[in-house]
A and B are shown apart, each in its own frame.
Chain A
Amino acid sequence: MSSPLIIRNALYLGQAVDIAVRGGVVESVTPHEAARRSFPADTAVHEAQGLKIFPSFADCHVHLREPGYEYKEDIESGLRAAAHGGFGAVMAMANTNPVNDNASVTQSMLAKARATWPHGPRLFPVGAATVGLEGKQLAPMAELAAAGCAAISNDGRPVGGAELFRRCMEYARTCGLIVIDHCEDPTLAKDTHMNEGETSGRIGVKGQSVVAESVQAARDILLAEYLQIPVHLAHISCKQSVDLIRWAKERGVPVTAETCPHYLLLNDTELVNYSPMAKVNPPLRTPADVAAMRQALADGTIDILVTDHAPHAEHEKECTLDEAPNGISGLDSAVPLTWTLVRDGVLSEHDFIRRWCHAPAEIFNLPVNRFAPGDPADFFLFDPEERWVLTPDAMHSKGKNTPFLGRMLTGRVKAHWLGGVRVV
């Protein structure tokens, strides 16, 4: 059990507050210096000096690579990146080796997380929807739920068959889990390396159409409406998809959706020099898509932000575009990058917190800190003005693969407590 703690003079939604923590939970939040009270002699006092305080964020879409690909990332290093990035909870996808399609893999992941980061960040494994991610046979979802999986997904190898995907949704519902779908028609997306459009046509690279994503988003929406079973759409990237999601929400279809920092900040011209660092799936889209994504995030069509943290070893991106694996290492930089959206007026600070914290907790039933007495004392201090350059050395993930390397970021996580224990 942690010692009593006071965070003094932190800014929460524009107000200077003092936050008292006892027993790992929030005891009180009061206006700064409004009420001096006595605390035990062993109370630790942390002067926040006007830094912003945010409840720890949840990243509901990461790849921690363990078991099987520890050279890219392991649970210890992935959680370290999460802690430094401001994340108190991460949901790790199942495309490990072996695939997380049985309880023993889930349990070993959770054991490793508890052993390496006992106070958090907390790991919530996502179980495979089908055995081996092969899209043939339902995974034992009841077993996965009992072992501690927070959701079900074939992320990375989406289920192409509509009938099987329907059964995934129905059976996951039976097990009390929600399905996260990587929206991608495998036939339309086959062997593609970037967005299909002006740039891909000009530089001679096989492109993936936006329809490859939206046709499957449409399928999922129609199934969700027909079955009245919620579905969560992963890493949405284009205008067509958000138009469909907006339409679905207006009809009351139980659909939620996420997007990533790169779909809000970058477009497919990043690939004009064949940069493997900017290769991601779904691919970076056009400036018009970026504008539509920003609008959809602002109006709530897109419910949550995620990183789709996909670390790779340096040598794996040291190749030509078509040979490079997809993925951006995102945990270290996601909060400063998306803070840009607040600076640009796309999101209010309140909505920024909602997209990164409260909404993910609601969708996936995660622990959440709303700064009410008794809430878990999970929060981080953030300097919204600090300017720093994203370098490999500044990243805590093993994966240094990001197109934002070398860029000046504004805003930085300065300290992080989980359950009242300082982890950063």
Chain B
Amino acid sequence: MQEKHRFTWPHKDLLDVSQLSLDEVNHLLDTGEQFHEINRRPVKKVPTLKGKSVVLFFAEPSTRTKTSFDVAGKRLSADTFALTKSGSSITKGETLKDTALTLQAMNPDVIVIRHWSSGAAQYLAERLDCAIVNAGDGWHAHPTQALLDAFSLRNHWGRSFAGKTVLILGDILHSRVARSNVQLLTKLGASVRLCAPHTLLPAGVHNWPVTVHTSLDQAVQGADAVMCLRLQLERQQAGLLPDLSEYATTYCLTARHMAMANPGALVLHPGPMNRGLEIASELADRPESLVLEQVASGVAVRMAILFLHATRKDGGTK
């Protein structure tokens, strides 16, 4: 990245998409597009963040998000260090505060954190000087997933989402992906619908800027995109569902449902997918499915996020 940006990135941390203005979202996604091009080159590495260090602090299991950030950092020539719950002193009873202070003492430029506690990223952001990027905290927020979802949709729809309807389907209650996507998609101008059984809807959801459905047949009609959410299989044990086969019968997205959506409607899934439970297997592999495109978008968007936050103190230029 050689050109000077329009403005210095104003945020020390990325905790939730609610903190971003529409201009900032577009700036971030535009930056991601430039990095997307790098990912298609035969040599996918630039010296943009040479000398910068990024800690990947994943207290909760993750394959794709952690790998995506790792790849993003390495393609920008940052040094990336992984720290997992099992490999950290958290298992020895160390508090998040002490882990954070230990990490801070190593003077990284960015800490990417995934944690089981809602608010954990904010907790670190309030205490540490380096940039904190939220890679998922509890049920609260997953801003980078929402940004990469928007990035993928933008590739098909262009910059304005006005007139588009996105259905988010599945376990809304426990989904940080849903919360962040509701905020971002509505900010971009889309209409958002949610669909789940009552046991998987959050309190107060009827006051969100969405329409809420419990019937998938109704919810999917006229949708331009359907975003399936992963169902954690322990929800049945928690008494929220009678059994998984009944859930699949009622809420698994199938080709029959997509026939009721608008022509060319897109299908998204943050992964990992439970095929046949949340999404019919053949649907996941059809051209309308953006599942793999989301993964590619994720690297580009996370490159943009790391770039903007790691270079903020340098004036946002390289």
A residues within 8 Å of B by Cβ? 196-207, 209, 273-274, 315, 318-323
Q: How many A-B residue pairs have CB under 8 A?
A: 68
Q: Which residues on the B side are within 8 Å of A274 (C-beta)?
A: 118-119, 122-123
By Cβ-Cβ distance, the 5 closest A-B pairs, closest first, are: A274-B119, A204-B139, A201-B202, A204-B140, A198-B204
Instruction: Please judge, given known A-B contacts A203-B140, A205-B138, A274-B122, whether A321 and B204 are in contact too, CB under 8 Å.
Output: no
Known: A201-B203, A205-B138, A207-B203. 8 other contacts (CB 8 A): A204-B118, A204-B138, A204-B139, A274-B123, A320-B120, A321-B117, A321-B118, A321-B119
CB of B176 within 8 Å of the partner chain: yes
Q: Which residues on the B side are within 8 Å of A315 (C-beta)?
A: 95
Q: Which residues on the B side are within 8 Å of A198 (C-beta)?
A: 203-204, 207
Contact B123 A320 (CB under 8 A): yes
Contact B204 A204 (CB under 8 A): no
CB of B11 within 8 Å of the partner chain: no
Interface centre among B120, B141, B205, B208 (most CB of A within 10 A): B120
Interface bracket on B:
20 to 34
CB under 8 Å from chain A, chain B span 81-138: 95-97, 115-120, 122-123, 137-138
19 CB < 8 A contacts A-B: A196-B203, A197-B204, A198-B207, A200-B203, A200-B204, A201-B208, A202-B179, A202-B208, A203-B118, A204-B137, A204-B140, A204-B141, A273-B119, A274-B122, A318-B97, A319-B96, A320-B115, A320-B117, A322-B138
Instruction: Please judge, given known A-B contacts A204-B176, A205-B138, whether A322 and B118 are in contact too, CB under 8 Å.
Output: yes
Contact A320 B96 (CB under 8 A): yes
Contact A318 B95 (CB under 8 A): yes
Min CB distance, A289 to chain B, in Å? Answer: 14
Min CB distance, A406 to chain B, in Å? Answer: 15
Q: How far is the CA of A66 from the CA of B203 in the complex (A)?
A: 39
Closest A residue to B139 by beta carbon equals: A204
Instruction: Please judge, given known A-B contacts A202-B204, A207-B203, A318-B95, whether A273 and B122 are in contact too, CB under 8 Å.
Output: yes
Min CB distance, A190 to chain B, in Å? Answer: 10
Q: Which residues on the A side are within 8 Å of B95 (C-beta)?
A: 315, 318-319
Mark interface residues in B6-26 (1 if CB within 8 Å of A CB, else 0): 000000000000000000000
Min CB distance, A371 to chain B, in Å? Answer: 49
Q: Which residues on the A side are within 8 Å of B115 (C-beta)?
A: 320
Instruction: Please judge, given known A-B contacts A205-B138, A274-B123, whether A197 and B203 are in contact too, CB under 8 Å.
Output: yes
Contact of A323 among B117, B141, B207, B208 (CB under 8 A): B117
Interface centre among B116, B123, B176, B179 (most CB of A within 10 A): B123
Closest A residue to B122 by beta carbon equals: A274
Closest B residue to A200 by beta carbon equals: B203
Q: How far is the CA of A319 from the CA of B120 in the complex (A)?
A: 9
Q: Which residues on the A side are within 8 Å of B96 (C-beta)?
A: 319-320, 323
Closest B residue to A274 by beta carbon equals: B119
Q: How far is the CA of A203 from the CA of B141 in the complex (A)?
A: 8
